Each structure stands twice: as structure tokens, then as C-alpha cells.
Structure 1
């Protein structure tokens, strides 16, 4: 099997010719370097494509961006008034230090802005980014279109603290914000599918599992994401779900969403995933992806130890519906890249 076919069989909970070994992206490895090319040729790489379109706000705002030294200020002008976002950069990272919405009143104001959806041309360009990445990979690997689910709307417009406070103080408003977000997201995804996108990586669940708990997860993730996944499946598209953090108590809920695959399933001490127990809870209906920590295992331990752990993990997970992968950090280095290759060779 070529790596794309191998991954797709696993994603559908089948048994491929061997368990796929999937780096997620190139990490810190230049994709056109000899090592980058080796990853494509010798592993079962998963890449992400992004379209640069925000379906939650579409073209509803006149956006002004001001940059000075280490700070970028984005001002969203609207008939309901201005909203302001501030991002700050250091040599190592960047972060949002001021979010556009700070109170329930701000959320109500945001929802009152007349919605202008993305144009057909914008969505088509987003789909073309995905198709171009697929063409670049050829028969190797799988490309997933990175998509924030409906809860990303409040999670990205409110600070983590205010996100939690909105759920505590005004849960009906949070539910309404997510409902509106999903109402805008579904036509966007429908159009992407019609333009040729056939595989999605859904992100956002961890905002709720890490901060709000199971009751909120049911309301803000399971309910809207069931409709999202059903739409993807109606087009024959793959629905791959991403959710960092302790995950075991959420697996029955994720099963009800109907997704095809789930990552990154962090093992202790970084998460709580027991891969064999997870497989039982998901009843052979969701492919498991991940479980080897990018930074603490793949990028640090000797190759012999990484291979030993990988083979043991495959033994526990079984040959079907499992992809041996990292934990989706996006920042693994050369040592981890070579360990991915060694794992793939050990499983041949």
C-alpha cells in the first residue's frame, strides 16, 4: 500500500498492510530538505491545510491592523461599534493579550453585527490550498483541512477567563453564540466539500474539555459537532477530531459525535489515555491516532527505546483502526523525525 491508502484504511477502522506511522506536519524540519523528503517517502505523514477564511465573521467587519515593534493591534470596525484584539510577540512565541469581547454585553454586541458570509471566491481559494497540498504529496500521506468547530467562536473572541465566566454567568448566551457559529460554519463546510475538500481536522473540543467540563462538552461540542460531522459524511469526507488533554471520560461523548479518527490521545503523565481501554470505549468505530509524546518521547529518548515503546503500543492497540503518531505539537525536531522513520521501518 502507498501511505495515503494505508492511512485511509486505518481511519476507517480497517486493517492496513501495517500500522501507519504518521508525523503530523514537518515540525521544525524544512519540507524540501533531504530529511523532509525522507519523511514523505518513508512514513505516513499527515499534513494540514488552512484556507485563511474565518467563517464565523466572514466579511462582516472592516478590519484595521496596526503593528509596532512586538505588538499587533487588530481593530474590527462594525455598526455595533469597534472590537479590539492585541497580540504580543517574543523571541520564542506569541500570544493574544487582549481579546475583543470581555463581557456578556460585548458578546451580545458581537452577535448583533449583520453577518456577511465569505464569498464563493474566498471559499474556492481556501479549497484550492487544500487541493494544492494534496497534489504536492501525490499518493503519499493525507492532507486534512484544519477547521475550528463552533465553540472556537467564543473561545477565540473571549479570554480563557472570560470564556469560563460566560459559561458560569450566562450559559444561555454561550449556547446562543455557539448556535450562531454553527449556523455560519455549516454552509462554509458544505461549500468546501463541493469545491473538492474531502478530509477535515476538527479542532476546538479541548477549549471545553480542559476548561468547562462534561456538561458543557455535551452542550457546546457534542450537539453542534454531530451536525458538522454528519454534513461532512454526507459528502463522503473524512471527519478527523483533535482534542488535547485528559480524554478518557470524554470518549463516549466523542463516539456519539460520529467522528472517524481522534488525536492525540496523550499518555500519562501528560494525559490520561490508556490506548487499549480507549479502543474498548470507542467500540472499534473511531480510529486512534497518536499516544507517543512529541517532545518527551520522540524528541528526547534514544531510538531503541522509542522503537520499543512504539512496538509495545502497537501490540496493545492492535493492527486495526490505529495510527502510531506523536501528540500534534507541531514543533518536533530532527531526532523525532528520524525516530518516526525508524518506527516505520520497524513495522514493515
Structure 2
């Protein structure tokens, strides 16, 4: 989204979104506050696809999708394609089937290992853009021990960075492509229900470390090969929130995130890239650890009560080292009336203006996931764009 900016001699120059975002990430001055809608515009979607599970083909979505494409600083999230390595033996041990019934799509998976059959079930409803985990693959320590018997070749994949280059070519100067990856904690924790994961993390730490190590052995080379093939890119690393409060204490955040996610950040830096760490919820007591890890940026910096620290405080404490993204709850976009929402956004922008920092990108903490976008929701997204354009 080009924007005109006056020079000292009153000439107007045009600043595009790619430059604006790059400046925000590298501590350079910007012509105005960048604004991004996160997943809306973050993922390439087709509102014309007739798939009944495509929520974006509802006509109410089109104005919001067009607003994101035409008026925001886009950040496309792209995961590199993964090709099974020559010795990958996953198909011999994993099986999967999908069926549709009662307006939902069910996926069933089985893994036969260690004398056990591990099963999981996922459900996707036609009117909701999310996947419900009906049954988790691992139900406790014995299942985890069996899972660890899987040969490492099951997880052997080779990255193909072509999708990153293609996304950049399609995007042009309308924004940046961001390489998307989970960390070892995300891969391990998602195998369990939340209660079983927390119990494992507290009471079976040695076993849980073995799971993290198993995923790390293959994730690190995958990240490095991708970063080498596509150097200098922005990355998003998700998963750390699994170890944030109130789920786990900061000491275990250090054990499970600092130890296993810092190497990902270092690999990204090794090839000239920047790492944006993603962690919802409470940040106050883990921010010092995140800073130690060397993250270049952080999202979504949720305000209280969803978070436990204000944007002003984060900027004052760590804003010099990290570009901050977010601070606008998606629930506020969907529920607040226009005047109240405008006041909320102005307060966020005021906190940015009254503090100093490397950079800030105005952004929701997530995106709507229902089939219909209300008129009020659309107005509030329009307010984000309008107020961002008014900032110096």
C-alpha cells in the first residue's frame, strides 16, 4: 500500500508496504504506523472456491479480504514445501482416512509402533475455519514412550523454498513474505490434550525432553536448509505459548523454549534473517527469557486482561531490541461498537507515540474464524486502517 510522505523541500515521495515493514523491523523511521490484519491477508485464500468448508466464499468476507489486500501492509505467511526424504518410512507406520458427515469433515489417523496402536481424530466444521482435536494421538507417558520408538526416518523431509519465492513474486512491494515454522515444543505438546501435556511437562520432564529432542533433530536441519535457500527473510516461530503462564512456570519456559527454540533463532540469524516469536497470553515473567533468546520481533503482545503487561511497559523494557506486533484483541474487533473500538485503537497508538522503540506494527491478535463478517466487524477493521494512516 503506497503512501505519500513529504520531504524537507515539500516534495511527495511514495513509500510502499515492503519498505515500511522492513523499516519497522530494522529500527528505521517510518512514514506512518504499519497496519496488518494478521491471518486476514496473511494467508492466500480463494473467496471463489466453492468448497463448502471454505468460509471465505461467503459474500460478507469479500469486502474485508479486499480491504486487507488493497489497504494494509501485507505479511504473507508461507511454510516451505516439504518433500519426504529418500529414506522416509512414514507410510509404513502411519495411516489416515477422511470422511464427511453431518456437515463436518473428520480425519482419522493411526500409528502402529511399540506394540501399540495410537489413534487421533480431528473434526472440521463447514462454518468454522478451525480444526477441532477430538482425540489426541498420545494419552500419557506409555504412549509417549511408544512414539519415541518411531524411527527417525519417519520425520525426514527436505524443504523446497520455491513456494517462498513464488509468494514474493506475487506479492511484489505490497508487503513481506514471512516463513512460518513451529518449534519443537509446538510439535510435542500438540500430541497431547492440554491436561495430559501439562501433567507430562511437570511430572515426566526427562521423557518430555526426549520428545523435544526427537523433533529438534529433524527440525533444525530443515530450518537451516530453508534459511540458506531463502536467506534474509522474516520468520514467525510459534509454539512458545505452550510453556507460558498459567500453564507452566518461567523455569519450565526456560527448559522447553529457551533450550529448544533459541537454536532456531540462531539458524535464522546465521543466514541473515529475522525471527518473530509468537506467544499469546501472559508475557511479563517470560519476557526476560525471550529477550535472552535474541528474538527480533514479538507478537501479538496481548493487552490485559488477556495478557498481563501493557504495550507501554513492553516498549519501555524491551522495545529497543524487539519490533512489537499486535495489541488489538480480535474479540474487540468483533464485539465493540465503533466509538469504543476507536478509543481503544487510539490508546494503543498513544502508548506507542509516548514511548520509544525499534518498531511497532498495529495488528489484531488473531482473525475471525466464522463464515459471516458483520458490518460492525468490517467497520472496526476499517478504523484500524484509517487511524494507522493518520499517525506520523
What is the TM-score of this pair, normalised by structure 1?
Answer: 0.88
> Following the alignment from structure 1 to structure 2, what is the Cα–Cα distance between the partners of residues 289 and 190?
25
Residue 26 in structure 1 maps to residue 40 in structure 2: yes
Structure-2 residue corresponding to 1:184: 218
Alignment of 1:229-248 (within 5 A): 229-248=265-284
Residue 194 in structure 1 maps to residue 228 in structure 2: yes
Structure-2 residue corresponding to 1:323: 361
150-159 or 25-34, larger mean C-alpha shift:
25-34
Task: Describe the shift of the 1:50–1:268 C-alpha distance in structure 2 as closer, same or farther (beyond 3 A).
Answer: same
67-76 or 97-106, larger mean C-alpha shift:
67-76
Aligned positions, number: 342
* Structure in which a larger fraction of residues adopt strand: 2
Gaps of 5+ in 1: none
> Following the alignment from structure 1 to structure 2, what is the Cα–Cα distance between the partners of residues 219 and 54?
31
Structure-2 residue corresponding to 1:36: 65
Task: Describe the shift of the 1:135–1:305 C-alpha distance in structure 2 as closer, same or farther (beyond 3 A).
Answer: same
> Following the alignment from structure 2 to structure 1, what is the Cα–Cα distance between the partners of residues 335 and 391?
19
Kept in 1: contact 2:300–2:325 (CA 8 A)? yes
Deviation at 1:7, TM superposition (A): 1.1
> In terms of Rg, which structure is larger?
2
Kept in 2: contact 1:74–1:85 (CA 8 A)? yes
Kept in 1: contact 2:26–2:358 (CA 8 A)? no
> Following the alignment from structure 1 to structure 2, what is the Cα–Cα distance between the partners of residues 159 and 7?
37
Deviation at 1:160, TM superposition (A): 0.9
Kept in 1: contact 2:362–2:388 (CA 8 A)? no
Structure-2 residue corresponding to 1:212: 248
Structure-2 residue corresponding to 1:157: 191
Task: Describe the shift of the 1:30–1:159 C-alpha distance in structure 2 as closer, same or farther (beyond 3 A).
Answer: closer
Deviation at 1:220, TM superposition (A): 0.3
Alignment of 1:162-311 (within 5 A): 162-196=196-230, 198-210=233-245, 211-282=247-318, 284-297=320-333, 300-302=336-338, 304-305=342-343, 307-311=345-349
In structure 2, the residue corresponding to 1:262 is in which secondary structure?
strand
Task: Describe the shift of the 1:79–1:102 C-alpha distance in structure 2 as closer, same or farther (beyond 3 A).
Answer: closer
Choose between structure 1 and 2 for higher RCO, CA contacts under 8 A separated by at least 6 residues.
1
In structure 1, the residue corresponding to 2:386 is in which secondary structure?
helix
Task: Describe the shift of the 1:336–1:143 C-alpha distance in structure 2 as closer, same or farther (beyond 3 A).
Answer: farther
Gaps of 5+ in 2: 1-14, 48-61
Deviation at 1:17, TM superposition (A): 2.4
In structure 1, the residue corresponding to 2:292 is in which secondary structure?
helix
Structure-2 residue corresponding to 1:75: 110
Q: How well do the aligned residues superpose, as a CA RMSD in angstroms?
A: 2.8
Kept in 1: contact 2:39–2:367 (CA 8 A)? no
Residue 109 in structure 1 maps to residue 146 in structure 2: yes
